[in-house]
Amino acid sequence: MAEKKWPETWQEVNPGCIVFRPGSSRDYHTGTWRAERPIWDNSKCIKCGICYLFCPEGCISEDEEGYFAADLNYCKGCGICAHECWPGAIKMVGEE
Amino acid sequence: MSKRIGMEIALAAAEAAALCRPDVIAAYPITPNTHVPEHLSEIVAEGRLDAEFITVESEHSAMSACAGASGAGARAFTATSSQGLLYMAEILAIISSMRLPVVMIIGNRALSGPLSIWNDHSDIMSQRDIGWISLFAANGQETVDMTIQAFKIAEHPDVMLPTNVNLDGFQLTHVVEPMLMPDQEEVDRFLPPFKPFAALNPDDPVTLGALGLPDIYTEACKSREEVLLNSKKVILEVWKEWEEQFGRKYEPIEPYEAEDAEVLMLTMGSMGETAEMAIDELRKEGMKAGLLKLKLWRPFPFEELKEAVKGAKVLVVTDRCLSYGGAGGPVALEVRSALYEEKKRPVILNYIIGLGGRDVMVDHFMEMIRTAAKADAERPEKAYEIYGVRE
Ligand code: SF4
Ligand code: SF4
């Protein structure tokens, strides 16, 4: 049986809700909260890294060419990256 | 071997806490508990106790330091009163939810305002529902004993809950009493070293105090409730062990002349000793009066209460706190709820007494019990009365 990601019944709750597996928050995909997703237009991007720095989720990473993109498993769609990108390279687009 | 000493109770509480070998003590002074941490700081400074004494800048920090220390696997202790307890409030609930067995002495004091440094129970009652174990001492000996017991109860693997020991400010904290003080060897025999369930350690990382989304918060609450209710079993075991080793008996509700009593009074804290004298007087007059002294406030001893009041016609519950805009005092609220479903239960009267240090004398207790005795025939009009309030 696959290990449960989190307890289901109260009896399964660890004392003090202690989590023994490091990095378990990665199992929680905050991407399901998203109503809009950020779309990058690399032709406008100046590779300043501001979006990367401001993303509260830490889900933006740099690719080999120095452009940026979000991991949509975790991107909550807050729009901060689009707001902070002053060359206007990021647009928030509604999820279908 | 235990030694008979005459000492101020706050200092004795500090001596008892030191015998439990706390690793970390973090406290901020506030009347009337101040002598507890002050004396502990002297004990550490004299080299009698190898502990980290953290002189924090506030009670919020004191409790936060205790949380961190306990989370790192240290035995942590603090003490406070009144506004200091309120200033800790944010961390109090976090500590119990994280199952950190911190022990705290509360020198009970009224809440401001008007500004009062004197005793009642409104401080702890404002923090009633935070998931701590709460014990109430009636005298110096109980303060010493309960301080040591508190560590064993709190750290028991089936409990792991913070525990507070309540003693009335001034009426206990500043009174010199003869007490039996256990020695180090006796306490070491009673209290094993603290073995934390999990501790913060970079080599073996764990998460303490994680986020609980709506899909797990309810289960976390239920688990806290169950462990607190079940802690009563451990508390009774620890008290039994204490009795076997030290010969002093502890029970959730201590009866005094209660067996055949038709009128029972219930007290919590130091006023029990004054009430005992009132019972003696009334017994001389031929009245079947008795007393119940509540020592275990959380978890509340429902079964023991039902058993204790079985034969009584009238139960007079005293409270040292008023639940403003509610149905009286918190102890009476609890007692009424506990007995509501019982087919046969006594008439319950509630007197709010001793607010902000107001003296309650033997005569006063006698008058309350005499008035209550009549309530058997004529039920009281009001759910509670603030005793002796000038009108
Ligand atoms: S903030 Fe805009 S310009 Fe800067 S790296 Fe990100 S996308 Fe490119
Ligand atoms: S929308 Fe918010 S969460 Fe998503 S990548 Fe941009 S800043 Fe990060």
Q: What is the pLDDT along chain B (391 residues), one digit of tens a residue?
A: 999 999 999 999 999 999 999 999 999 999 999 999 999 999 999 999 999 999 999 999 999 999 999 999 999 999 999 999 999 999 999 999 999 999 999 999 999 989 999 999 999 999 999 999 999 999 999 999 999 999 999 999 999 999 999 999 999 999 999 999 999 999 999 999 999 998 999 999 999 998 888 989 999 999 999 999 999 999 999 999 999 999 999 999 999 999 999 999 999 999 999 999 999 999 999 999 999 999 999 999 999 999 999 999 999 999 999 999 999 999 999 999 999 999 999 999 999 999 999 999 999 999 999 999 988 767 777 889 999 999 9
Give the integer Cα–Cα distance in Å for B182 and B190: 10
Sign, CA torsion B281/B284/B285/B288? positive
Range of A84's domain?
A: 31-94
Q: Which two tokens stand for residue B226?
A: 């169950």
Q: Whose CA is nearest to atom 8 of ligand 2?
A: A55
Q: How many CB pairs under 8 A join A and B?
A: 56
Question: Which band of pLDDT confidence, cut at 50, 70 and 90, is reported for residue A5?
Answer: low
Q: How far is CA B132 from the centre of its chain?
A: 10
Q: Do B206 and A18 touch (CB under 8 A)?
A: yes
Query: A4 lies in a domain?
Result: no
Q: Do B160 and A12 touch (CB under 8 A)?
A: no
Question: Which band of pLDDT confidence, cut at 50, 70 and 90, is reported for residue A2?
Answer: low
Give the integer Cα–Cα distance in Å for B268 and A33: 51
Q: According to CATH, what is the number of the domain B253-386?
A: 3.40.50.920
Q: Is B279 exposed, middle or buried (0-12, 13-18, 19+ CB in 10 A)?
A: buried
DSSP helix/strand/coil, B97 = helix
Residue B211: partners with Cβ closer than 8 Å, 6 or more residues away:
none
Distances (CA, A) of B34 to B11, B27, B178, B268, B336: 10, 9, 21, 22, 35
Query: A13 lies in a domain?
Result: no
Q: Do A17 and B97 touch (CB under 8 A)?
A: yes
Query: A55 lies in a domain?
Result: yes
Query: A60 CA to middle of ligand 2, Å?
Result: 7
Q: Do B220 and A15 touch (CB under 8 A)?
A: no
Query: A87 lies in a domain?
Result: yes
Q: Do B207 and A9 touch (CB under 8 A)?
A: no
Residue B143's pLDDT is 98
Question: If contacts are CB pairs under 8 Å, which of residues 10-69 in chain A contact chain B?
Answer: 10-13, 15-20, 22, 24-25
Q: Which ligand is nearest to the CA of A41?
A: 1
A60 lines ligand 2 (CB under 6 A): yes
Query: A12 lies in a domain?
Result: no
- Annotate B296-352 with DSSP letters as a single string: EEES--HHHHHHHHTT-SEEEEEESS-BTTTTB-HHHHHHHHHHTT-SS--EEEEEE
Give the integer Cα–Cα distance in Å for A55 and B185: 58
Number of domains observed in the structure of chain A: 1
Give the integer Cα–Cα distance in Å for B75 and B128: 23
A87 lines ligand 1 (CB under 6 A): yes
DSSP state of A19: B
DSSP helix/strand/coil, B353 = coil
Question: Which band of pLDDT confidence, cut at 50, 70 and 90, is reported for residue A1?
Answer: very low
Residues from B contacting A (CB-CB < 8 Å) are 97-100, 160, 197-198, 205-210, 212, 215-216, 218-220, 222-223, 226-227
Q: Whose CA is nearest to atom 2 of ligand 1?
A: A85
Spell out which residues of chain A touch residue B205, defining contact as CB-CB under 8 Å: 22
Strands B347-352 and B385-386: parallel
Query: A28 CA to middle of ligand 1, Å?
Result: 27
Q: Whose CA is nearest to atom 2 of ligand 2?
A: A78
Residue A3's pLDDT is 59
DSSP helix/strand/coil, A34 = coil
Q: What share of chain A is helix, strand, coil (3-state, %, to 5)?
A: 25, 20, 55
Beta strands in B145-279 (DSSP E): 163-168, 176-181, 253-256, 263-268
Domain ranges of chain B: 3-246, 253-386
Backbone angles phi, psi at B7, to 5 degrees: -155, 155
Per CATH, B3-246 and B253-386 having the same topology is answered yes
- Annotate A36-70 with DSSP letters as a single string: EEEEE-TTT-----HHHHH-TT--EEE-TTS-EEE
Query: A61 lies in a domain?
Result: yes
Q: Do B219 and A13 touch (CB under 8 A)?
A: yes
Sign, CA torsion B302/B307/B311/B317? negative
> Chain B contact for A5, CB < 8 A?
no
- Model confidence, pTM: 0.92
CATH class of B3-246: alpha beta
CA-nearest residue to A11 within chain B is B223
A39 lines ligand 1 (CB under 6 A): no
- Annotate B248-262 with DSSP letters as a single string: ----SEEEES-TT-S
Residue A9's pLDDT is 94
- Identify the CATH number of the domain in which residue A54 sits: 3.30.70.20
